[in-house]
Amino acid sequence: MASRKKKLQGLVAATITPMTEHGEINFSVIGQYVDYLVEEQGVKNIFVNGTTGEGLSLSVSERRQVAEEWMTKGRNKLDQVVIHVGALSLKESQELARHAAEIGADGIAVIAPFFLKPWDKVRAEELLDGIQEKIPTFQGLKFSDTDLLDFGQCVDQNRERQFAFLFGVDEQLLSALVMGATGAVGSTYNYLGKKTNQMLEAFERKDFSSALNHQFCIQRFINFVLKLGFGVSQTKAIMTLVSGIPMGPPRPPLQRASREFIDEAKARLESLDFLSSTYLKDRNLESCS
């Protein structure tokens, strides 16, 4: 991750790209989406055009347009906007990186080409060794693996460099905070940002019992939807349900979430008190509040 601003900290929502029923980008709701993140979830940092945003299902032109719209609608409301510019073509990544700089993005993030790629596997801690000599603007990494040994070594060996260490496994964030994570990038922060912020606040004041209870509560929901089958399509459905903002269907080849999934996810959200009171009918004793 490269940035020209202060170190990125706290929650970063991996934004969804809203679509119309015909599969075109629905730019008209992005302003409402920004307000929802800031006012309802307390999330002021975003990660645009990543996996959750179906970035690799968009054309280069569409990715540029989406980035521009988030920058425009987030001005004076969001703290930091990071644009994902990874692609199968390095030329396209370079083009998207230049564009991100031109529109004033606070940083870029890059996933390496993953179809044609080197065979040797490099651990994150090895990747960070000497990286600022190669990329002077390098500011940190998003770590989206459950290997806390590798993550811990990234933190331990780079303490003096003031990197941002952003964890990408939402259901294990508390463990990563103990290991030195400075923040997190995730899809669930679109609709569970408020609950996750409560966990961060409890951790900050060293109320570890409360922090653990918040993490367990979040895990109950994530564990439930993972067993049903959980991906980009289901994330869009849940965000529509919780926020009331239409996210639309995913781009093919992904299929929209089933009616069964939506009904079961809604019931679980209600039981955990994650839905706004305007959506609730009954609450039960399993509420996490």
Residue 283 has a pLDDT of 33
Domain boundaries of the chain, sorted by first residue? 10-207
The token duo for 214 is 């918040």
Distance CA 196, CA 200 (A): 6
pTM: 0.92
φ, ψ for residue 198, nearest 5 deg: -65, -35
Residue 117 has a pLDDT of 84
Distance CA 232, CA 190 (A): 13
The token duo for 218 is 């979040």
61-120 tens-digit pLDDT: 999 999 999 999 999 999 999 999 999 999 999 999 999 999 999 999 999 888 988 888
Residue 23's pLDDT band, with cuts at 50, 70 and 90, is very high
Higher pLDDT, 24 or 277: 24
Helix axes 208-228, 259-271, angle to 10 degrees: 160
255-274 tens-digit pLDDT: 999 999 999 999 999 998 88
- Candidates 3.90.480.20, 3.40.50.2300, 3.20.20.70, 3.40.50.970; CATH matching 10-207: 3.20.20.70
Supply the DSSP string of the chain, one letter for each residue: -EESSSPP-EEEEE----B-TTS-B-GGGHHHHHHHIIIII---EEEESSTTTTGGGS-HHHHHHHHHHHHHHHTTT-SEEEEE---SSHHHHHHHHHHHHHTT-SEEE-PPP-SS--SS---HHHHHTTHHHH-TTB-EEEE-SS-HHHHHHHHHTTGGGT-EEEE--GGGHHHHHHHT--EEEESGGGTSHHHHHHHHHHHHTT-HHHHHHHHHHHHHHHHHHHHH--SHHHHHHHHHHHH-----PPPTTS-PPPHHHHHHHHHHHHHTT-S-TTT-S---TT---
200-244 tens-digit pLDDT: 999 999 999 999 999 999 999 999 999 999 999 999 999 999 999
Scanning the structure block, which residue is given the tokens 């004033």?
104
The answer, yes or no, to whether the previous bond of 253 is cis (omega within 30 of 0) is yes
Residue range 263-286: mean pLDDT, rounded: 67
